[in-house]
Structure 1
Amino acid sequence: MAMNGREGAGAEAWRQVQPGLLRMRRLLLVAWLTPLTLLAAVLPPVLGGGAVWVLLPVPPALALVWAWWAAGVNWRSWRYLERDDDLLISRGVMWRQLTAVPYGRMQLVEVTSGPVERRFGLARLQLHTAAAATDAAIPGLAPPEAERLRDRLTELGEARSAGL
């Protein structure tokens, strides 16, 4: 069966990451680009710039609008699917990636959550395998879901590597 990373496989359904990831990323965009836009707007009059310098805040303001939209599109592209033998992770808009991580190849599954992620009630699941090319991560999970997934993947990985 051909899968494009956006469809379900049988009765299983793709799961999407939490909306808090989108809110967090957009807040970070605003936190970085708003001061830059304001600085670009205030600097030319202070320095006595000419008429052309009035346009200086336009690029950062446009970047903020475009990045706001792009963050939403990117957030919607993140999905994961637990199958019988592997975990599929789909992401990307222009360059779509579909990563299959076989349970038997997993060496380490960890859950991390930095201060900003914790503020938004998020955690990141990081999967490590023997081959560095297949290491994968799923950002924007609710902490209970990340822990459930870590425990399940660890259990399945141990069973598959033991040949059960």
Structure 2
Amino acid sequence: MMRLLEVVQALVVTFWVGALWSTGLLVAPLLFLVLEDRSLAGTVAGRIFEATAYAGLACGALILAVSVLKLRSAAFRHKASWLVVALLVLVLVGQFGLQPVMASLREQAYPLPVMSSDLGSSFAAWHAAAEVNYLLQCLLGAILVVARRTELAGAAGG
């Protein structure tokens, strides 16, 4: 049973971090390269980031639940568990802190694209904060992958 939990946890970490990287580092930039309408590209990218955020919340909760099932109170003695908590906090800040402000600015600017409106500089600042938040998620995701591998090797005696 423990082996199955370990496999599930590894697959969920892989899915989450892979989704973060592919969405932010591949899909979103390609949308802006392929679509001439930057506002449409931003709308589509926003929906993909939203789906990635909700998937991340589910993945993080599942990873922590499996850790607690396996390790009980010792779960939070492991660096990987705290990395997951940090990732979840960043996802929550992005999805429920930064994104609503950006959506509000887009709505206020309508019918103009937000970057063509008087709100463009404010939107750019919030967007920059969201980019930093997302890049931190990608970085913590990479650290999580390595930390899990290191902790597993240590637990196996190698």
Structure 1 and Structure 2 fold alike (TM over 0.5): no
Whose Rg is larger? Answer: 1
The structure carrying a bigger helix percent of its residues is 2
TM superposition score normalised by structure 1: 0.31
Task: Compute the TM-score of the two structures, normalised by the length of structure 2.
Answer: 0.32
More strand by share: 1
Which has the higher relative contact order, 1 or 2, with Cα contacts under 8 A spaced 6 or more apart? 2
